[in-house]
Every structure is written in structure tokens, then in C-alpha cells.
């Protein structure tokens, strides 16, 4: 069974204090690893997709990296507006594989890391 | 570009009643998903459509949940009869194709009392 574990569950930082969020996964046939941001009362907002070990992507103060077993979301010099829950998700298989007897395309999410940035 | 639209935003019903949620995906998106998010958890996939066909409904409690996507555009998710444990946020998401990122709506918060 595909598993996604995020740590820590919650993290409180001072403004400007850099840190990293972890997402470890156990899946067969990873096709992509996704990071989403979710604000209270809203749906998840897409941040990044990573497809292969060694890949990195950046957006403003966020940088996502991927290894064969885990992904990190690095937050550099965060601001209060970065406060949110960050969700990691994996996608396995695909339509081609499914038609050949493999999995579907929906995401398996972790529980998220609740990040608070204090001014 | 308009995002994924969902309605209603909030719904309170008594157990054993029925309820329906509506989703209008981003124009041109062939793939549509329904997820259930219980408080403090990540979203859990219920069903995936490719155009108007069901691709994956392995985690949909079919004795009480049903979903359809007529004409390959809008979709409805129905619960009948509802149980207390169905209290959650129901999220609709769509993607251009099966291998591109999904965009989520704001969700419908269901409370079953």
C-alpha cells in the first residue's frame, strides 16, 4: 500500500528563520511527487511537481527537492504570509499503465505540516 | 482563467438524510477528481473521471456514495444515506490530462449531525 509520511506535524518559526519540511514515501512505481499549500477554508493550491531523484524546483522562498525515498520543502527567510498547511502527495501508475493492469492517476496525500511564521 | 467551482460551500444535514455536491471544472480539463478531507488529514481520493468515464472508484463507499459526470463537464457527488463519519470537506479537482497537475476547488464542508 502506498504511504506518505510528513514531518513535523506542526512547525512554528520566527520570520526570517529558514527550515525544511520532510515528506517520506513508500510506493511502487512513483510517477510524480507533488507539493501543495492549503490555507484555512480553502482547497489545496499547487506548488511543484518532481518526477525523478535529484530534481529540484524553486518558487520565491520555496525550494523542493526529491530523492528516491523522500522529498524536502525548504523555506528560506519565511514571511508570515507563508503560514499554511503544506501537503505532499504521490502519484503512481498512470492511464497507460492502468489500461495494462496498473494503477490510476489520483494522488495519495500525507497529513500535512502546519507551518506558522511569527512576525 | 476561472478556477474549479463547487457548491454549496457549507451543508449541515441529519444522519440518514441525503446530500448532493456539484462541481464545475476548469474549462477543457478532461480529468476530474473528488476527494474527501477529514479534519486534520490529507485529502483522500474517492473517484476519478476521464471525460465522462470512471477511471478509479476503488475508494468510493458505493453502498452510500455515487458520482456522475454527464457530458464530460460538470459532476455531482451524492451521499445517501449520510452517516456521522461522512462529516468532512469534499474537494473537487480537475486536470488538463491524466498526467498533469490537478487544481482544486474551495470544497464543500459537510456536517452530519
Regarding predicted confidence, which is higher, B42 or A1? B42
For residue B31, the number of C-alpha atoms closer than 13 Å in the C-beta half-sphere is: 21
Pairwise CA distance, residues B83 & A74, whole Å: 40
Report pLDDT digits (tens) over B97-110.
877 889 999 999 99
Cis before residue B81, ω within 30 degrees of 0? yes
Interface of A with B (CB under 8 A): 4, 31-32, 34, 36, 41-46, 49, 87, 89, 94-95, 98, 104-112
Nearest CA in chain B to A114: B40
- Residue where the block lists cell 444522519: B15
Confidence of residue A104 (pLDDT cuts 50, 70, 90): low
CB < 8 Å to A104, chain B: 48, 55-56, 58
> How far from B5 is each of A40, B22, B92, B100, CA to CA, in Å?
17, 8, 8, 19
State the smallest CA–CA distance between residue A52 and chain B in angstroms: 15
What local confidence, expressed as pLDDT, does residue A39 receive?
97
Q: DSSP assignment of B81-112, as one string?
A: S--GGG-EEEEEEEESSTTS--EE---EEEEE
Q: What is the pLDDT of residue B40?
A: 93
Contact criterion met (CB < 8 Å) for A44 and B45? no
Residues on B contacting A at a C-beta cutoff of 8 Å: 4, 31, 33, 35, 40-45, 48, 50, 55-56, 58, 91, 93, 98-99, 101-107
Top residue of B29, B33, B98 to mutate, by most chain A CBs within 10 Å, is: B98
At B37-50, the pLDDT tens digits run: 999 999 999 999 99
Largest CA-CA distance found in chain B, in angstroms, rounded = 39
Q: Are A105 and B98 in contact (CB under 8 A)?
A: yes
Binary contact (A111, B44; C-beta < 8 A): no
Structure confidence by residue, pLDDT tens digits, B47-91? 999 988 998 999 999 999 999 998 889 999 999 999 999 999 999
Per-chain mean pLDDT for chain A? 90
What does the alpha-carbon distance between residue B92 and residue B106 come to, in Å, rounded to a whole number?
8
Q: What pLDDT sits at residue B70?
A: 83
Distance CA A118, CA B65 (A): 42
Peptide bond into A8 cis (omega under 30): yes
Give A109's contacts in chain B (Cβ within 8 Å).
Answer: 42-44
For chain A, what percent of residues have pLDDT higher than 70? Answer: 90
Contact indicator for B17, B82 with CB cutoff of 8 Å: yes
- Model confidence at A67: pLDDT above 60: yes
- Residue listed under C-alpha cell 474549462: B27
Residues in B closer than 8 angstroms to A106, CB to CB, are 33, 35, 45, 48, 56
Residue listed under C-alpha cell 457548491: B7
Tell which wins on pLDDT, A22 or A2.
Answer: A22
pLDDT in tens, A19-39: 999 999 998 888 899 999 999
Average of pLDDT values for B26-33? 93
Amino acid at each position: 500500500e502506498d504511504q506518505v509520511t510528513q514531518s513535523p506535524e506542526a512547525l512554528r518559526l520566527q520570520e526570517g528563520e529558514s527550515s525544511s519540511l520532510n515528506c517520506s514515501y513508500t510506493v511502487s512505481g512513483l510517477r510524480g511527487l507533488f507539493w501543495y499549500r492549503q490555507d484555512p477554508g480553502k482547497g489545496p493550491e499547487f506548488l511543484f511537481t518532481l518526477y525523478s531523484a535529484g530534481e529540484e524546483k524553486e518558487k520565491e522562498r520555496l525550494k523542493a527537492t526529491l530523492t528516491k525515498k523522500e522529498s524536502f520543502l525548504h523555506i528560506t527567510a519565511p514571511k508570515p504570509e507563508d503560514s499554511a498547511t503544506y501537503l505532499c502527495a504521490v502519484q503512481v501508475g498512470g492511464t497507460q499503465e492502468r489500461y495494462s493492469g496498473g494503477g490510476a492517476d489520483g494522488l495519495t496525500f500525507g497529513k500535512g505540516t502546519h507551518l506558522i511564521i511569527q512576525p | 482563467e476561472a478556477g474549479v467551482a463547487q457548491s454549496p460551500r457549507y451543508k449541515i444535514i441529519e444522519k440518514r438524510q441525503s446530500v448532493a455536491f456539484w462541481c464545475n471544472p476548469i474549462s477543457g480539463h478532461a480529468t476530474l477528481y473528488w476527494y474527501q478531507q477529514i479534519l486534520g488529514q490529507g485529502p483522500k481520493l474517492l473517484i476519478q473521471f476521464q471525460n465522462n468515464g470512471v477511471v478509479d472508484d476503488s475508494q468510493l463507499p458505493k453502498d452510500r456514495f455515487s458520482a456522475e459526470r454527464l457530458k464530460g463537464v460538470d459532476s455531482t457527488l451524492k451521499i445517501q444515506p449520510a452517516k456521522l463519519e461522512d462529516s468532512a470537506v469534499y474537494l473537487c479537482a480537475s486536470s488538463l490530462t491524466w498526467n498533469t497537475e490537478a487544481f482544486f476547488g474551495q470544497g464543500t464542508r459537510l456536517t452530519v449531525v
